[in-house]
Every structure is written in C-alpha cells, then in structure tokens.
Amino acid sequence: MKLFAFLAVVLTGAALIYSTFDMPDWGDTTSPANAHVSPRYIEQTLNETATPNAVTSVLADYRGFDTLGETTVIFTAAIVCIMLLRTRTDD
Amino acid sequence: MIKRNEDIIIQTVTRLLTPFVQLFALYVIAHGHYSPGGGFQGGCILAASFILMAVANDVAFVKRRLPERLTTALISAGVLIYAGIGLACLMLGANFLDYGILHRVLPVDAVKARALATLGVEIGVGITVMAVMVSIFLNLLSAGRHEEGAVE
Amino acid sequence: MIWQLDIVILVLVVICAIAAISVKDLLGSAVLLGAYSFLMCLLWTGMGAVDVAFTEAAVGAGISTAFFIAAIYQTTRRTRD
C-alpha cells in the first residue's frame, strides 16, 4: 500500500512537472497573461487612481469585488471558529 | 499547560517592542499606496503584536486590552466599512464599488477620490484581519475557554 | 533573479518540506513550516513580487506558525505515525 501511494505521488509529480514545460517563461512579455489587460493597468493606474503601487490599485480598485469576497471569507472563518471552539462556562 | 509567564526579561522586551510593531503595522496599512503592503499584511502585523502580548503574558492580559465583545464587533465592522463604501457608490448613482463617483461627497476630484476610497477599503480589511487573527488565536490557545486561560 | 541564489533557496525549500513531514516532533514540524514559508518569501522577493512576499512573510511565517503552536498546545507534541 505504501509503494502504491509512493507511485501515485511520483506519477502525479511527473505529470505536473511535464505540464510546466508548456507554460510561458518567467517575465515573458508576450504571454497571454501579460499581453491583454496588464499593460493597461500598469500604464493607466497613476492617471486613473492616483496610486503608484499598481498591486494595491488592482487589488482594491479594479478588482475590488474580489477583495470584498476575500474579506468575507476571512469573516466567515472567524465566525465558524468562534462557533466551533468557544465554550461559555461563566454564564 | 498555559500559565502566566513571569519572566521579567520577556515581559519588559515585549512591553518595549509592542508599540513599534503596532506603529509599523499602521504604516504598512496607510502606506499601501506607495510601497508594498496593504490592509491584509498590516492587519496581520497588528494581530501579531497582540499575539506577542498573549504569548508573553496570558490570555486575560490581552482580553483586558481587547475585550471579546470588541473583537467580535471589529470583525463585522471591517466588512461593513468595505461594503459601506461600495454601497455609498451605489447610492450616488454609480456601480457597486465604483469609487470615482465619491468625488461628489469628498472635497477632491474623481481620481483622488478613488485613491481615498482605496485607503478606506484597506482600513476596513485591516480591521477585519486584525480582529479575526486575534480572535482565532485566543480561541485556539485556550480551547475556547478564555476565562480560565489555562488548560491541560 | 540570481540563479545561484535561486538554486540554494530551492534546495533548502525541498529540504524544509521533506523534513516538516518526516519529523516526529509536531512543534519542530511547525517551525520547519515557518522556515519553508520564509524561504518561499525570499523566492517571491527574487522574482520581484514584493507584495506576495510581504503577505507570505506576515501570514505564512508569522501568523500561521503561531496558530500551529497554539493548536499543538491542545494536543501532544509527539506524532503516532
């Protein structure tokens, strides 16, 4: 059984490494992710949002809905932790 | 067994270090426009200062400064600030979270209004993250029994 | 990116990851995961993703290690398997 688990891990790892050969190079300016919407954000972020750090303007302004969802996830995590762990003994 | 830490060196260093950690956290939140950082990272560092207090002293020490009622209120308040800024844009006639329209209520132009709304959003995220991390840590450390503070 | 530094960090990342799952002491495992997060943070910095590196350092190396240690207080330090 242990050998089977080891083989499964090795095969999955080999498949994942094989699939990385199709990915674009690091910092490739012609890759699809860098070709369409990224240059517009990098060029226009100072004119449109007065925020020099493009990461902050993308996170909180252009993709603000994503960050709202992320904050809601953390909020839910805290509520679930309080509900699961907190035991009231004083009253 | 978590009992009150009585080591004078650890307590003194913690007392000296905590204000600087908190000041750095506020700097990270407020300076997210110009340097790496933002609400999430700043909130985590702010929570780390309270976690340091809890480790160096005990759970009750943090709960005196940050009561459980306040922590739970802050968790909701951060999300409320974020969604409230989005709703304010909706009220003024733009899309949800379309900050540019806020120049009608703020004394700046549309571009600056977006930067200011981004700062408000970061503050909301920071408040939520700080309260969430402190709340989860205190619950984990004392297995949900804050008052006793000590568990086997 | 400096490739010699990258190789060193990547080797250390793999060593930390394997050590974290093979060590019998859960507290040591948590600390090794913190070291792993910090090495990943160095990798992100080398790639120029400073915001990601900052998040990794604050959340991965800082807060989550504290959470692991708090959780280990509620159980035994030794693993059974």
pLDDT (tens digit per residue) in B20-46: 999 999 999 998 888 888 889 999 999
Residue B72 lies inside a defined structural domain of this protein: yes
> B103, B110 in Cβ contact below 8 A?
yes
Write out chain C residues lying below 8 Å of B56, CB-based: none
- pLDDT at residue B149 in the model: 47
Question: To the nearest whole angstrom, how far is the Cα of A26 from the nearest Cα of chain C?
Answer: 9
Reported as a pLDDT band with limits 50, 70 and 90, residue B151 is: very low
Q: Which of C55, C59, C73 sits opposite B141 (nearest CB)?
A: C73
Residue B136 lies inside a defined structural domain of this protein: yes
φ and ψ of C25, to 5 deg: -90, 120
Residue B85 lies inside a defined structural domain of this protein: yes
Domain residues for the domain of B47 are: 8-141
| Residue whose tokens read 């509620």 | C74
**ipTM confidence:** 0.84
Q: How many domains does chain B have?
A: 1
pLDDT above 50 (res A32): yes
DSSP-assigned letter for residue A57: H
Question: Tell me: the pLDDT tens digits for C36-72?
Answer: 999 999 999 988 889 999 999 999 888 999 999 888 8
Residues 6+ apart with CB under 8 A from C30: C65, C68, C69, C72
Q: Does B75 touch chain A (CB under 8 A)?
A: yes
Establish, for the pair of chains A and C, how many residue pairs have beta carbons separated by less than 8 Å: 5
pTM: 0.86
pLDDT above 50 (res A10): yes
| Residue whose tokens read 């004078």 | B8
Whether B144 sits inside 8 A of A65 (CB atoms) is no
> B127, B135 in Cβ contact below 8 A?
no
Mean pLDDT of C14-40: 92
Question: Tell me: the pLDDT tens digits for B52-84?
Answer: 988 888 888 888 888 888 999 999 999 999 999
- pLDDT at residue A42 in the model: 87
- pLDDT at residue B95 in the model: 87
Q: Which of A41-45, B1-5, B101-105, C26-30 has the lowest mean pLDDT?
A: B1-5
Residue B122 lies inside a defined structural domain of this protein: yes
Residue B82 lies inside a defined structural domain of this protein: yes
Residue A9 lies inside a defined structural domain of this protein: no
Residue B104 lies inside a defined structural domain of this protein: yes
The amino acid that residue B100 corresponds to is G
Residue A65 lies inside a defined structural domain of this protein: yes
Establish, for the pair of chains A and B, how many residue pairs have beta carbons separated by less than 8 Å: 99
Q: How many domains does chain A have?
A: 1
Residue B152 lies inside a defined structural domain of this protein: no
Residue B71 lies inside a defined structural domain of this protein: yes
Residue A89 lies inside a defined structural domain of this protein: yes
> C73, B2 in Cβ contact below 8 A?
yes
Whether A26 sits inside 8 A of C51 (CB atoms) is no
Identify the closest residue of chain C to A53 by CA–CA distance: C51
Residue A72 lies inside a defined structural domain of this protein: yes
